[in-house]
Each structure stands twice: as structure tokens, then as C-alpha cells.
Amino acid sequence: MMKVLLTGFEPFGQENMNPSWEAVKAFPELMEDVEVLKICLPVSFQKAVMILEQTIDDYRPDVVLSIGQGGGRYEIEVERVAINMADSKKPDNDGYQPQECQLRADAPNAYFSNLPLKRMVEAIQDEGIPATISNSAGLYVCNSVLYTALHLVYSKYPNMQAGFIHVPYLPCQVVGKNKQPSMSTETTVQALIAVIQALMACNQMV
């Protein structure tokens, strides 16, 4: 049994939906040999990280897979790196707007995801869904969530794997936006299922 913590985010900015939480919500409850815990994180630098850390300590997942809205992205993007930095052009949902703030003192400048990223991208592409590796998760709340999960991997839970996937807007979010890319929840869920199956295969659990 592989224990997976699957996280999405609440809406932020001008949006009233977040494709990441829509996909996590719709992810199948029952998958063979997989136990999934789903949580919706607030778009808050402070709270998201606290809730994530507490949930990892309590649930002790094998895999933490966090999903976030990557508005403007054309493909499913599997993130490679998290940076020890928070810097934001817009306030988070608590009104906090960090400017070049370190996330953790006495911790490395960056961490790489320890998930098999190329395998994950291939698994998504094999479904006929566009996907790529991204080398920047930005410096907003998504990056801080990935950084925190990886900090726990490298400092506390060496057998845990952690990664982050940015997904495009939902079709309903781009109505009236000028030529913005989008992807349906159904397609995003199909991609996430393929990713989990690929991780099961890599971890030789199937």
C-alpha cells in the first residue's frame, strides 16, 4: 500500500475556483494499493506550510504530491526545484506580500524534487496529455509548499518522496481572458492518475 498525500489549493486573486483543488477533489477515492489523503491548502504563505507540515507529521505519507494552479501554463508542468525564497507581486489570501524573504534560515538555497520526474511526464504524455518538466515553481505559495515538503524529506523523512505539479486554468476560468490556455478537470485527473500509477511502478508496488 502506497500512502499518498494529495494537496490542492483554494482559489486566490480574482479567481473563484482553483483547478488544483477541483482535480484533487475529483481524484478517485479508491485506487488499488493506494491510500490517498486529500487536503485543500489555503493560499497563505504562513498557514499552507504549517498545515502541510502538521499533516505530514500526522499522516506519514510515502508520497506528497501537491498540485497548484499555474495560470497561463499550456501543459501540465512537473516541478523540479523549490527555492528558499518568498517574493510576491501580489498579496496572499491573508494580505501578506513577502519581498525576498528566506523561507527557512539555516537551510539550503534550493531542493530538487526526489520524484522520478521524467517518468511522470512520460506517463502523462502516454495518455495523450501535454506535459513537461518545469525548472521554476515561482516564488509564491506553491514554491513554499514544495520547499517545505522537500525540507522534511531531506531533514526528517528520507524515505518520503515529494513533488509539485502546476496545472493550467480550467476552461471556465479563461472565458473572457484573452487567449489563455486551459484544461478540463477530467483531463487533469486522468494525468494525475497516470502519475500515481507511474510512481507505484517505480516504487515496485505493482
Kindly list the catalytic residues: 79, 142, 166
Minimal distance, residue 93 CB to ligand PCA, in Å: 9
**Coarse DSSP helix, strand, coil percentages of the chain, rounded to the nearest 5 percent:** 35, 25, 45
67 phi/psi in degrees, rounded to 5: -120, 140
Nearer to ligand PCA, 65 or 141 (CB): 141
* 191 lies in the binding site for ligand PCA (CB under 6 A): no
Candidates 28-36, 96-104, 126-134, 135-143: pick the segment binding ligand PCA (CB under 6 A): 135-143
Shortest reach from residue 189's CB to ligand PCA, in Å: 16
From 142, 152, 191, 200, residue interacting with ligand PCA (rule: CB under 6 A): 142
Comparing CA positions, the residue from 195, 168, 100, 93 lying closest to residue 139 is 100
| Cα–Cα distance measured from residue 140 to residue 103, given in angstroms and rounded to the nearest whole number | 11
Binding positions for ligand PCA, 26-45, rule CB under 6 A = 43
Angle between helices 185-202 and 117-126 (to 10 degrees): 130
Window 143 to 162, contacts with ligand PCA (CB under 6 A): none
Nearest approach, Cβ of residue 32 and ligand PCA (Å): 29
Q: Which of residues 57-76 bind ligand PCA (CB under 6 A)?
A: 68-70
Cβ distance to ligand PCA smaller for residue 41 or 160: 41
Check residue 169 and report its DSSP letter. B
At its nearest, how many Å lie between ligand PCA and the CB of residue 139? Answer: 8
Write the DSSP string, 95-127.
Answer: S---SSB-SSTTS-SEEE--S-HHHHHHHHHHT
Q: How far is CA 132 from CA 20, 24, 156, 161, in A?
A: 17, 20, 29, 19
Mark the segment that binds ligand PCA (CB under 6 A) among 119-127, 139-147, 170-178, 192-200. 139-147
Axis-axis angle for helices 19-26, 185-202 (nearest 10):
60
Collapsing DSSP to helix, strand or coil, 23 comes out as: helix
Residues 95-134 that bind ligand PCA (CB under 6 A): none
> How big is the site for ligand PCA, counted in residues (CB under 6 A)?
12
Return residues touching ligand PCA (CB under 6 A): 9, 12, 18, 20, 43, 68-70, 138, 140-142
